[in-house]
Structure 1
């Protein structure tokens, strides 16, 4: 698909700022979670403040990931657009699942707890054993975002930067799906999925911000 310079500038700007903001938010998230582990404060379930922090991070990240992947779709060569289109579909499902979980946490759970209405609430706690919301969260981050980034990985391969992007997208998919299988099997190894969205994802989005920055530079020149 041929795009004029004006459209490419809009698309590259959306991709660049979307991926850059994700990287910043992801690095902050990684620092916070790493600090909790180092200081021994990584309780399960996390404290209310950490859960609120995680909810805000998710609500920021979900639409930005969708914007970034859509921007990638528009700069992808025609023969690979089916892959980037699949990535958009999977990412849309991811965004819906994790957003439902976090808004239920912020609105339904918090309001019910403050009102003292705890009946039937256990299934809606985000980190409770047997929680439907935790299942939604893991289905989103572990399965559908993994499928989105796996589809997207095959779009990149032409140069060193793109191959680096491809490697980290593959890594996310492998760890995310492996963590999901462990979660289904009720294995403590489900925690490896957190390495995908806590560590691998910010690196991938950081590289993608460089990818879009280079596109912007060619347009400016």
Structure 2
């Protein structure tokens, strides 16, 4: 399902997320005060805007309250990050995710209501993009520019099906390499055993095929 994202701050972290989300087929609105940074992501965003995220009038004019998610990825300016987060929260955006510079910054963001806080030195933009776009993805590991491994929860739609009936290789060109059940990993699951809701499927494949599997089986 296509979602709408606004990314405020287009350093390495923000531009990485913008590119990943755009390649996933989502609508991405990219904002930065630096025109050069904005121009650098024009090919990886639905629309772009040069402006200051701390400006409430700007946020009003671009309709920030209409976005599903807003990612505040402002770089070294902690004050600007905090003010932007406060303003976006005031617009009742349902999901406000923010990049933190350090533990102090993290604590302040928690207190003002950030819905999730990132430490980019610990998390890759592509992994975060996967979390943003799916409630069932638990982990995401890049193997190359095109191939990844994901862990995802089995939903009610998958529950009761078998690997034989799902046939992910034939239908989605990706492979279930293991299933986690009650904390135990089965690398040779019986293809005729039914999958239970809450089992964790570990899949490998092209990013586009993995996305098709998630969208087709959720």
TM over 0.5: no
Structure holding more strand per residue:
2
Normalised by the length of structure 2, the TM-score is: 0.22
In the superposition, the TM-score normalised over structure 1's length comes to: 0.22
